[in-house]
Structure 1
Amino acid sequence: MLQPKRTKFRKAHKGRIHGDAKGGTALNFGAFGLKALEPERITARQIEAARRAITRHIKRQGRLWIRIFPDVPVSSKPAEVRMGSGKGSPEYWVARVKPGRVLFELDGVPGHIAKVAFERAAE
């Protein structure tokens, strides 16, 4: 799964996702793309599951680009632990995605195959 090799800080604030994406809104590599419509945090597991769904459907023809990277650590405390005593340890990594951001790009496949592949990935 995707995660940074090293980071400046171990833990990050939760934050909010405001506004539309400024960059990464146009297709740069492929002929077809999957674009975000809502602000959301997408986990590394979700990115990997979508990548597998797309590559299985296109059957190794064409090329796939992943345009987002999970660079924000999300921390959580273990179950049945009392409040206080600091922030929990990092559990997983997410990418903060704004509306309009291109998530995946495809090239070298027919349009109808790309459409079904992106529909499966979006589930």
Structure 2
Amino acid sequence: MFSTRLLKQASYSRVMIQIQVAGMKNFQPPPDYSHIQLPEKPKLQFKDKVPTYPSNLKPPKMSKRLTFMRGPEPIHTEFIHKQYGIVALCGGRLHSGHIEMIRMTINRKMDPSKMFAVWRIDSPWQPLTRKGQGKRMGGGKGAIDHYVVPIKAGRVIVELGGKCEFEQAFPFLKEVAHILPFKAKATSYELMEAEKIEQQRLKNANINPYTAEYVIRNNMGGCHTWISPIDKKWYFKYV
């Protein structure tokens, strides 16, 4: 009898301890997308694999022109719609297969009723030549094999916007960025601005005077004899 009474008191006290208390909730209001106008054609458009030339003009050939891929991008480095996109982290080339992969992946996984995507690159225009297998050296330049578009570091490749948040677009933008033949990242306008502020803060907080730029400009250790002319211009930032 005594043990039963103790068990009842213990169970009653346990129930009394588990009391839920309601607190103040502070939910942020949803973002306002009323100012965004979706275009008539929200999906990425098809790009020609080969540039069009007049009928009386033979398609010209070109050398490699590695300068088209080296260094930072001078123009297309900002988002026009100030939302989301894919940005190249180093130089490289995109041919028609890469461009078609970007177009099909984004068009398949985006919601055209809420999102839109726009290209920020040109159609393939630089010709690359190749000789047939088994041919001997010499005999002039080979025939045109395919066309590419050169990309520099910091170039915005594709831009995505609409009435959506970054968490909705990040998965398939990241998937596309990882398949590209060079390093790229899926980012947003806010993240890019935060990175610029952080880079400037680190630059101002650096107390070490011997930076790569200082060492190369002053030819410390005779580095001009073994570094490349590209490093003398960009200070090991762009390869």
Q: Same fold (TM over 0.5)?
A: yes
Aligned partners of 1:98 and 1:119: how far apart in 2?
Answer: 19
Provide TM-score, normalisation by structure 2. 0.48
Question: How many residues of Structure 1 are paired with residues of Structure 2 in the alignment?
Answer: 123
For 1:79, the equivalent position in structure 2 comes to 133
Match runs of 1:1-123 below 5 Å: 1-2=47-48, 3-6=50-53, 10-16=60-66, 17-29=69-81, 31-61=83-113, 62-69=115-122, 70-108=124-162, 109-122=164-177, 123=179
Aligned partners of 1:103 and 1:56: how far apart in 2?
Answer: 18
Deviation at 1:59, TM superposition (A): 4.2
Counterpart of 1:24 in 2: which secondary structure? coil
Aligned partners of 1:98 and 1:112: how far apart in 2?
Answer: 27
Deviation at 1:6, TM superposition (A): 2.3
Counterpart residue type for residue 52 of structure 2: K
**Which structure has the higher relative contact order (CA within 8 Å, separation 6+)?**
1
Gaps of 5+ in 2: 1-46, 180-239
Q: Which has the higher strand share?
A: 1
Counterpart residue type for residue 91 of structure 1: D
Percent identity, please: 28
Aligned partners of 1:120 and 1:96: how far apart in 2?
Answer: 21
C-alpha spacing 1:51/1:87, structure 2 compared with 1 (3 Å): same
Deviation at 1:20, TM superposition (A): 0.3
Aligned partners of 2:137 and 2:63: how far apart in 1?
Answer: 18
C-alpha spacing 1:18/1:113, structure 2 compared with 1 (3 Å): same
Gaps of 5+ in 1: none
Aligned partners of 1:110 and 1:55: how far apart in 2?
Answer: 17
Q: Which has the higher helix share?
A: 2
Aligned partners of 1:81 and 1:4: how far apart in 2?
Answer: 28
Provide TM-score, normalisation by structure 1. 0.88
Contact map agreement 1:64 1:105 (CA 8 A) in 2? yes
